[in-house]
Structure 1
């Protein structure tokens, strides 16, 4: 007898660069024309999802992590390890960088650092992302940032729907306007803003974090050809690995008709439906739904036509 699937209520953020896709295309019940992020699976002080139904209805994911660690395989950690977002960038996000665990622990009150990855759900033709920079040395980096030589500094690379991008701590990055993506990341909300196009928020420039950014940016940047992975169409109805790193393993599942999975070897499995609809073990699921298969949920059966991005902690 399988345990109950943990279906979650997302949390939303309103952002200067956000839009309306999360309501209009994903069906989320949230008002506003500046909805930037859906935190679909989150147990963070800035966003804590609640369970929709079943035995744990109304409880937060953070509460379950603290009081029912058996649902997650009894793994160690002071907080739930991952955070899953869908991001709608109507306008360009700031140029930013994240610290690693060591820097965040020392400078951000013991926070985790932030490693993340992006799966491009939708974008305009000829879309680009900011990934990396053009400085060859730390001295050149300081000169470009402090001298506001942004055209020299910023490196943009082309992307298309279905691309997958791994962003290690220390990587300069920014989502450009017109891109919708799913982000899998460490459970952290630490972001250093390098440059924000001199935009105003409530009449004032947004805070920048120049010193911290210079401290943590990796020089030189990873080569362009190592920055983007084009996700090839692997077999349907199988869990296909996109990447496995220290903090997470991410998979893609294309359900075409019926998919029977054996996932009993994983401590738990986060799943986000990013296209289509169907069922999992008789439960109706659709684009925009996020849920967790708890530890011991070994043989789920999916039916329908869906695209799902899944993740768990790496062993």
Structure 2
């Protein structure tokens, strides 16, 4: 088995900019590029698989591999669709204040779609950057009043953010990525977002659609801040670090800092890998080596087994939680 490298899909957004080119040297479509769908089998951005050596998998869409090549996915491959999606989000200006539904609500109201549980690793942030997580309404009646009064500043909970921070966003949580940040997002394979407020800005001369009724349906009141559940973390003698960030029912995510080398064993059926800083090599247990560098994203398929990372790098890895 060899790593499955992915060709990213880019999205232009009203709040996008050039950070994906500036930081990762991507060939972005415009100076308003907001998202890099880095590992995605969603119909709205289905990545093409590229392998470093000749392979039957090269040139296929990831969704096609999910359906036709179950040997790559282990027990997780029983799911109808590829369960996860990895994005890089580059916010030049603020994203809308928004909320996501859970699986049950999305299945009923969005044509059978998955809901959207997600988490954010802050890959870059300008000095003074903030994000929105949570709100101040004690109940749905107070939420209605904040909305009726258009008191969005009073409603939202805005906090400072810096590079290296991590946040777990459950369905029903009011949130917004704000300008001056680049986020590595691990999420369910879903493209369902309900906008609560969009700063009255215009796109093509018209306001973007809001989803007020659905927002009221799904927003959790009151907001309760929860510390993400995670496994033990460790710092190695050579200065490398393996830090688990979250374990939930759907996925688990870890941060890896490589100083010289780190030896790991695949703990999920398949592993999504994003290189956020530096460069080096990944070495399989049979000795095959693959050069990797900042801005590359790939999947270690089922059965990849033990592997070694060498170089000076920072990576985020994720996979489906085993049940």
TM-score of the two chains, using structure 1 as the length reference: 0.94
CA offsets per residue over residues 12-52 of structure 1, 9 Å max, x none?
10000001011121011223101100011000010000111
Q: Which runs of 5+ in 2 are unaligned?
A: 284-288
Look up the match of 2:265: 262
Look up the match of 2:286: none
Look up the match of 1:251: 254
Look up the match of 2:295: 288
Q: Which of the numbers 296, 306, 317 marks the counterpart of 1:310?
A: 317
Equivalent-residue separation in structure 1 for 2:240 and 2:302 (angstroms): 21
Equivalent-residue separation in structure 1 for 2:188 and 2:28 (angstroms): 25
Equivalent-residue separation in structure 1 for 2:5 and 2:303 (angstroms): 16
* 4+ residue segments displaced more than 3 Å: 225-229, 232-239
Look up the match of 2:114: 112
CA offsets per residue over residues 125-144 of structure 1, 9 Å max, x none?
22211100110111111121
Q: Which of the numbers 207, 210, 230 marks the counterpart of 1:208?
A: 210
Partner SS state of residue 4, structure 1: coil
Equivalent-residue separation in structure 1 for 2:299 and 2:197 (angstroms): 36
Q: CA RMSD in A?
A: 1.8
Equivalent-residue separation in structure 2 for 1:205 and 1:157 (angstroms): 27
Contact map agreement 1:240 1:253 (CA 8 A) in 2: yes
Look up the match of 1:50: 48
Contact map agreement 1:239 1:261 (CA 8 A) in 2: no
| Distance 1:200-1:227 versus aligned 2 partners, 3 A rule | farther
Work out whether 1:72 is the aligned partner of 2:79.
no
TM-fit CA distance, 1:226: 4.3
Contact map agreement 1:52 1:58 (CA 8 A) in 2: yes
Equivalent-residue separation in structure 1 for 2:235 and 2:199 (angstroms): 40
Partner SS state of residue 214, structure 2: helix
Q: Which of the numbers 85, 88, 91 marks the counterpart of 2:87?
A: 85
Work out whether 1:16 is the aligned partner of 2:14.
yes
| Distance 1:109-1:217 versus aligned 2 partners, 3 A rule | same
Q: Which runs of 5+ in 1 are unaligned?
A: none
Equivalent-residue separation in structure 2 for 1:222 and 1:11 (angstroms): 35
Look up the match of 1:59: 60
Look up the match of 1:157: 159
Contact map agreement 2:228 2:246 (CA 8 A) in 1: no
TM-score of the two chains, using structure 2 as the length reference: 0.92
TM-fit CA distance, 1:250: 0.2
Partner SS state of residue 93, structure 1: coil
Paired residue total: 310
Equivalent-residue separation in structure 1 for 2:241 and 2:72 (angstroms): 24
Partner SS state of residue 28, structure 1: coil
Equivalent-residue separation in structure 1 for 2:291 and 2:212 (angstroms): 47
